[in-house]
Chains A and B, each alone.
Chain A
């Protein structure tokens, strides 16, 4: 390439120097590109490791010893028996008194098939785990596992087990890891999130509207704004302390349900936990709401005011509908955070062992993160497997709640 005017001395590189200069600039770009790509790959590796670790614990071989060999109980495999046959098995293998006690608790006629099946397992088979293996071992070291079982546990049966199953989702907490489930924790988490949204959404959006649309730029409002921004970064355990003092102790008559005729003894209830979570996510929701409102174009407001709309009409008909997708995005983020929080729940006193379903906002409860925390801190290896299963449940719940919010957001942003 020749330059336009060869005689003029230019500060820019010419000819060969110019080509080298361009090549060097391209190289710099390529280096940065590689760095960004490796950052992405690093993230992918971290994610894959997480999934691998969880899956590794959720599936695998288990050596189980039964009090009675299942094959001797009936001609057919147990899970193919109908209810009457199962009752017969139960009656034939239990002491009469014990069976009568069961019948008195709830007549066999009123129990469902799966309840009777569970009883057979619990009262007759009495399975005991002797040893568990991870998915990796189960896949690659099957021979070693077989050898170990043959030498160490000749009585035991080797089964491939998925620790996560429908019965894991539908049975309550138990001290026996084979029979423990996350039903109570799952319901507790859902109740808590529902009530948290119920309180946090209107308050968060309301505060965002006030700060963005009505608050004038004075010292007082600037202090409020700065504080909200800072509160978004406060460690969650501090909110837990706040919740303990305010909701669990001071507002006990309300949070225990005494004022509403549903006394649960003390303030360690779903409502208290939800209100604490509300405090935790309000700053995030307000900041995101403000950003969404600020992003509504000025031209739209002007058009509305220009037709003689009042401030409130402009907010209601134009600002809010257009800010709603952004507000939903903020809510998704906030809820994702609330679902996974453990520390404030420990402080406000979620129960670590509870088998009754939460039946309302004033019930005692536990939540998935608490359950996971509790199980991971036990020494027996079986609990590691069910903790991993509970993590899967938590992640699936998180993803499905997010999916709902994304669908809502898309529906609102398509309108008009």
Chain B
């Protein structure tokens, strides 16, 4: 019990012995991982090693995949997210998500932000909503770009702006954790840099987990790094997990070293 209490003081999400199956296929094999509060944790590894699967299991987005099944525990405030009495809808509000391809709703910028609060039973005046929209857009460093065109379609923005709009949208439902699934893979280097700076800002108030293919990005913009690899049965396993500086300069596992030095993967 004492161990659990120390967990939750320091860690926002505690993954214990997680196995994920797609039908009969085991995609993730026995992963345990502690995600630290107010830090950025990067999940890296070659394609198909299951890092996105792990990320989606953290807010039960895998429930939406036919035949997906999760074993083990994901603890969030000492509560197992996969317990029977936990509602995935509530989980996803408190653990938000940003996707690989920017996916704003085909609505106005304002409505993109306001949608989340509205569907979650937001009660407040029009001017309070205006304030909320402004606050979220400011936090996502997008306010100055869009303050004069809040009524225009979110799809009219550039790719990088769309992705920041998606981040602002996620912030509007007041999550504690933001999961990012390769958020920069569809963006140019300048937009990527902006998103990374934004992550650094957001870290003060949120816990962030990010999947990335870009090792420089993981090295630059994360506090902890988890390296995943497929085992012989093509199931993803956690090879090494530690502070980013240590993992990149002094990897404990030979396979980690091979990967980060570009010898395979």
Distance in angstroms from B220 CB to nearest chain A CB is 25
Q: Are B93 and A302 in contact (CB under 8 A)?
A: no
Residues of A within 8 Å of B173, CB to CB, are: 307-308
Given A299-B99, A302-B99, A303-B99, A308 contacting B107 (CB threshold 8 A): no
Residue from A302, A306, A307 whose CB has the most chain B CB atoms within 10 Å: A306
| A217 CA to B172 CA, complexed, in Å | 35
Per a CB cutoff under 8 Å, which of B66, B101, B120, B153 touches A308? B120
Chain A residues within an 8 Å CB radius of B172: 307
> Closest A-chain residue to B102, C-beta based?
A299
A415 closest partner in B (C-beta) = B106
Complex interface residues of chain B between 107 and 122 (CB less than 8 A to chain A): 107-108, 115-116, 119-120
Determine the residue in chain A with the shortest Cβ distance to B121: A308
> Is A318's CB within 8 Å of the partner chain B?
yes
The answer, yes or no, to whether B105 is at the interface (CB within 8 Å) is yes
A313 at the binding interface (Cβ < 8 Å): yes
Inter-chain contacts of A310 with B (CB < 8 A): 89, 119
Whole-angstrom distance from the CB of B100 to the nearest CB of chain A? 9
Whether a CB of chain A sits under 8 angstroms from the CB of B90 is yes
- Residues in A neighbouring B104, C-beta threshold 8 A: 303
**Distance A238 CA – B103 CA, assembled complex (angstroms):** 47
| A303-B103 in contact given A308-B173, A317-B115 (Cβ < 8 Å) | yes
CB distance from B152 to the nearest CB of A (A): 11
Does the CB pair B92–A299 fall under 8 Å? no
Decide: B103 and A302 in contact? CB cutoff 8 A. Answer: yes
For chain A residues 289-305, which have a beta carbon within 8 Å of chain B?
297, 299-305
Chain A minimum-CB-distance residue to B60: A305
Q: Interface size (A, Cβ < 8 Å)?
A: 20
Closest partner residue, chain B, to A217 (CB atom): B66
User: Is B119 in contact with A303, judged by CB distance below 8 angstroms?
Assistant: no
- Is B61 located at the chain interface by the 8 A CB criterion? yes
Question: Given A306-B92, A307-B119 in contact, is the A299-B105 Cβ separation under 8 Å?
Answer: no
A233 touches B (CB below 8 Å): no
* Interface status of B97 (Cβ within 8 A of chain A): yes
The answer to whether B169 has its CB under 8 Å from any CB of chain A is yes
A322 at the interface (CB under 8 A from B): yes
Q: Across the interface, which residues of B come within 8 angstroms of A399, CB to CB?
A: none
Instruction: Report yes or no: A318 in contact with B105, Cβ–Cβ below 8 A.
Output: yes
A-chain residues with CB within 8 Å of residue B92 when the two chains form the complex? 305-308
How far is B97's CA from A301's CA once the two chains are assembled, in angstroms?
12
CA distance A415 to B105 in the complex (A): 12
Contact partners of B93 in chain A: CB under 8 A: 307-308
- Nearest CB to that of A311 among chain B residues? B89
Q: Are B119 and A416 in contact (CB under 8 A)?
A: no
Q: B166 near A: Cβ within 8 Å?
A: yes
Shortest distance between the CB of A404 and any CB in chain B (Å): 24
C-alpha gap A299/B101 in the complex (Å): 8
Partner of A416, one of B59, B61, B105: B105
Q: Which residues of B does A touch, CB under 8 Å? A: 59, 61, 64, 66, 89-90, 92-94, 96-97, 99, 101, 103-108, 115-116, 119-120, 153, 166, 169-170, 172-173
7 tightest A-B CB contacts, nearest first: A308-B93, A299-B103, A307-B116, A416-B106, A306-B97, A303-B103, A313-B119
| Residues of chain A having any CB pair with chain B under 8 Å | 217, 297, 299-310, 313, 317-318, 322, 415-416
Can you list 15 pairs linking A and B with CB atoms under 8 Å apart?
Answer: A300-B105, A302-B99, A304-B115, A306-B59, A306-B61, A306-B92, A306-B99, A307-B92, A307-B96, A307-B116, A307-B173, A308-B90, A308-B92, A308-B94, A308-B116
